[in-house]
């Protein structure tokens, strides 16, 4: 069955960096676009970034553009999110999600659970001084 397992979250001071990973299994990872989505306490799902199946096309939400980098290693079935210059407002539970298509899309800030066909369990990122 499809599994998405995130790791790499933690607590970091403002201005710090973290790299999230998402290990995928149970499907042809290299055939599908993948996304990172986050959810802060009491808020909905906020789209962060998306990458196409081949890894050459990426999109970012405006608030993370220039600070976050999405990438993937199709040989390792792994998705990454490099996060630099972290801010307190980046505090959230970060999910990786599988898109039902190979091409990436620029999404709106708010996405629905049904926009993706599989989600991981999430990894917590806390930015605090």
Reported as a single tens digit per residue, the pLDDT across 85-127 is 999 999 999 999 999 999 999 998 999 999 999 999 999 999 9
- Decide if 24 contacts 33 (C-beta within 8 A): no
Percent of the chain with pLDDT over 70: 100
Q: What is the pLDDT of residue 114?
A: 95
Helix (H) or strand (E) holding 78: strand 78-83
Torsion, Cα 80 2 61 103, to 10 degrees, reads 100
Q: What is the pLDDT of residue 126?
A: 98
Q: What is the pLDDT of residue 99?
A: 97
Check residue 85 and give left, alpha or beta (phi > 0: left; psi -120 to 50: alpha): left
Please, which pLDDT band fits residue 75 given cuts at 50, 70 and 90? very high
- Decide if 102 contacts 52 (C-beta within 8 A): yes
């Amino acid at each position: 069955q499809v599994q998405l397992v995130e790791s790499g979250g933690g607590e970091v001071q403002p201005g710090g960096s973290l790299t999230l990973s998402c290990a995928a299994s149970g499907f042809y990872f290299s055939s599908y676009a993948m996304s990172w989505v986050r959810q802060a306490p009491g808020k909905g799902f906020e789209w962060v970034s998306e990458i196409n199946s081949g890894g050459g096309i990426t999109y970012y939400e405006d608030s993370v553009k220039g600070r976050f980098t999405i990438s993937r290693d199709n040989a390792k079935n792994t998705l990454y999110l490099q996060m630099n210059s972290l801010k307190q407002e980046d505090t959230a539970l970060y999910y990786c999600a599988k898109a039902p298509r190979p091409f990436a899309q620029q999404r709106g800030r708010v996405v629905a659970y049904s926009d993706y066909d599989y989600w991981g369990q999430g990894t917590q990122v806390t930015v605090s001084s």
